[in-house]
Chains A and B, each alone.
Chain A
Amino acid sequence: MSRQSLTKAHQKITELSWEPTFATPATRFATDYTFEQAPKKDPLKQILRSYFPMEEEKDNRVFGAMDGAIRGNMFRQVQQRWMEWQKLFLSIIPFPEISAARAMPMAIGAVPNPQIHNGLAVQMIDEVRHSTIQMNLKRLYMNHYIDPAGFDISEKAFANCYAGTIGRQFGEGFITGDAITAANVYLTLVAETAFTNTLFVAMPSEAAANGDYLLPTVFHSVQSDESRHISNGYSILLMALADERNRQLLERDLRYAWWNNHAVVDAAIGTFIEYGTKDRRRDRDSYAEMWRRWIYDDYYRSYLIPLEKYGLVIPHDLVEEAWNRIWNKGYVHRVAQFFATGWPVNFWRIDGMTDADFEWFEDKYPGWYEQFGRWWEAYNRLRHPGSNKPIAFEDVGYEYPHRCWSCMVPCLIREDMVADEVDGQWRTYCSQTCHWTDKTAFRPTYEGRPTPSMGRLTGEREWEKLYHGWDLADIIKELGYVRDDGRTLVPQPHLDLDDPRKLWTLDDVRGLTFNSPNTLLNEMTPEQREAHLAAYRANRNVTA
């Protein structure tokens, strides 16, 4: 379509909406935000008659690449270290994608401007595309990668694994609670605008460096749809800013959304990229360097800060603190260490770190060895069954952490842990902001103002509680993380498939009792609790 006719056509389709007079659409999803029906242009002139063929063309390229990868025996050169993490990543990501589709009517219902609706509707179709195309990528991995275990139970494992739950809030955050908090601030303004670059630029380039060029193909095709979504978020934000009454809510939501996205996405993507790669070139950017470039310089400084002039209160302190956690407090490393500690209840295998890895980490993150090095040495030492238990049950100077009630990543930066009795229960939080999220933000009033539409934190938020007092072997069976011989575990703390004796089985983990730190915390006397918390915060958790 020529450019002139595109403009005309776009003008024409704005005629489709009308002012209803008999009845107005149901308000299924409430918001505490208020919007004037000011005219606002659809910034992206997206017309379905050019959209469908354009996406079909992209699809053809994706499927062509898939054929090519199989014909070229791509899996002869993929790194197992990388592919194993894809079992977790690709179990999670289709859910946030489909949730974004489901979130679109929440935004459509909340914003009265028909011009904006068009872009949101197209985003819905995009998201159905992304979810199913990612499922298909995973299916291909399952069919062609050496170890399909973990891919084969993917969506079930997503739904019952502690790590899936951390990821799930990314998607659930889009579809529940105040419609604008969820579908605009959390989804488009923060998740899509800030954090998709690490997802869609950093992940693919790391995949390619590890011999996988299919993930780049699929994820680049996904990312090329993001411009629409970024524009949708931006338009709604500018409209929200036009009404003074929204400022306080925007401030609250940006704090929550920023911090939760940081806690969840940096935990996951940071781990995949830093601990899932075999590419240890010195000049390969670390996750921290990428974060600094895409999230700090680009999103924070060139996207958020200019909006300050329009009344947006930006959580400068939290941006700085997120960086501080990544750079000075070793956030990503602590998360990776935690995932590896918990390997028996994972549904993927985690490779140990080698000398080349050690060198790279020390170079990129000075001081890394002092905090983490000996623990990874212990991990290697304890990787095979027979003479030892899984590392979590051996004394390597690592104390199993409390969960954060809000972001569900454990309280790994121990000195920052907040404990409080909330809703009649002792809860632990990884940070002050996560404490605030539960205690202050997700409540029916906020700073004295009624917020009747705000969501709630619900569910069995501490995964460990489900299995308090269970035998580890029974937990793994219950989760279904057992291979088709009925005894070998799906997860393994190494990549050695060559010798069955190196593979852990249910028998190797039987007799180990698993406890919920939160249940224990609530059973303590006040004095015991105080002492426990002080000791927890003071423990540097370093392997001697």
Chain B
Amino acid sequence: MTKHRVRFEPVEIEIEADEDETILEAAFRQGVLLMHGCKEGQCSSCKSFLLDGDLQMDRYSTFALADYESEEGYVLLCKGHAYSDLDIELINYDEDMIRAGIPIGLVDAEVAEIADLTHDITHLRLNGSMPFRPGQYADIQVPGTGEWRSFSMANRPGEGRLDFIVKRYPGGRFSGLLEGTLRLGDPLRLKGPYGAFTLREKSDRNLLFIGGGAGMAPILSLLAQLRDQRVRRPAVYYYGARTERDLFHLDLMAGFEAELPAFSFVPALSHDPSYAGEKGLITDVVDRLAGDPAESDAYLCGPPPMIDAALDLLERKGLPREHVYFDKFTTTAHQE
């Protein structure tokens, strides 16, 4: 099956499409919500503009797309198939929603691995597949209840498994189960993907990641994406922890530093005066070291107080608010 890359402007989202599926179907399959109505080529809700590439359409209503519009380059995504890589400009879309990830699917998975990363952070691997975009998260059902907890995927999509980083809280509804209750092979139900914490690929600004705690998960996924796509944008990841025993995945970070052309990882400890590296609150460290970040895209993921402090700091430093990304659901949902 021939696959083609389809890129949507101005939202900078990319998907893959087979020749035998419509572009709308392909987008759905990969969790991209495009405005649509009838899916029958009649209502014109999915009318878009073809910037470049070979797109051919099945039968549609000429009321939805008049010949003169078709000649100008307008297309209907619910009837369009990609026969080459495509660039498509969306006309009818809601910026807040397009990244929300549709269709939200229910996925049955099973526990494949549970391992301690630190004294209170656990690596949880599930066998099961869910399409998602790096940086997105899923809701995991607390078994036997109607409650759900949100966790970001730490791996790349399409690997047939889902990795999570879970901070354990005493008495945590879900995280408490990781202390001996959940076993390998246990079933878990997931819903997702959700979230807009995804890489704005078209930007050529520097990348500034700031995080702490289990908030490393979506950033790991984004770093893997940067590596796989050979992105050359300069990137720094400031990661805050209390003491040295709270640090983990240092080997992975060293790997990214070696593989990415311009990436550095800067851990900082707030409660360990003897630490050889950076010391103090992570926002203070950024303040000190980041110089002029105004020309950056900032991605934040960590506990809410850290997010708030980082937002203030970045605003002070002149980084436009629209270049700061964080996910308000995962930042709070990590707290149980």
Contacts and interface: CB of A to CB of B under 8 A. Distances in A.
A223 interface: yes
Given A227-B47, A227-B92, A306 B100 contact: yes
A231 B92 contact: yes
B91 A45 contact: yes
B102 A306 contact: yes
Interface string B304-317: 00000000000000
A61 interface: yes
B20 interface: no
Interface in A15-67: 41, 43-45, 54, 57-58, 61
B242 interface: no
A238 B33 CA distance: 15
Interface in A217-237: 220-221, 223-227, 230-231, 234-235
Nearest to A57: B66
A54 B49 contact: no
B275 interface: no
Contacts of A3: 49, 72-73, 89
Contacts of B100: 306, 309
Interface residues of B, number: 38
A61 B61 CA distance: 11
Contacts of B72: 2-3
B68 to A, nearest CB: 7
Contacts of A231: 35, 45, 92
A197 B39 CA distance: 9
Interface stretch (A281-289, A297-305, A524-532): A297-305
A3 B46 CA distance: 16
Interface string B39-73: 11011111101000000000001111010110011
A413 interface: no
Contacts of B61: 220, 223-224
A361 B216 CA distance: 57
Interface residues of A, number: 34
A201 B72 CA distance: 27
Interface in B23-41: 28, 33, 35, 37-40
A309 B43 contact: no
A201 B92 contact: no
Nearest to A227: B45
Given A44-B91, A227-B47, A238-B96, A220 B39 contact: no
Contacts of B63: 58, 61, 220-221, 223-224
A309 B100 CA distance: 9
Contacts, number: 97
Interface in B66-104: 66, 68-69, 72-73, 89, 91-97, 100-104
Report which residue of A41, A57, A201, A223 has the largest number of chain B beta carbons within 10 angstroms of its beta carbon: A223
Given A200-B43, A302-B103, A44 B66 contact: no
Nearest to B47: A227
B169 interface: no
B237 interface: no
A224 B43 contact: yes
A469 to B, nearest CB: 48
Contacts of B37: 193, 196-197, 223, 226-227, 230
12 contacts: A3-B89, A44-B91, A54-B69, A197-B37, A223-B37, A223-B38, A223-B42, A224-B63, A224-B64, A225-B44, A226-B37, A227-B43
Interface of A: 2-3, 41, 43-45, 54, 57-58, 61, 193, 196-197, 200-201, 220-221, 223-227, 230-231, 234-235, 238, 294, 298, 301-302, 305-306, 309
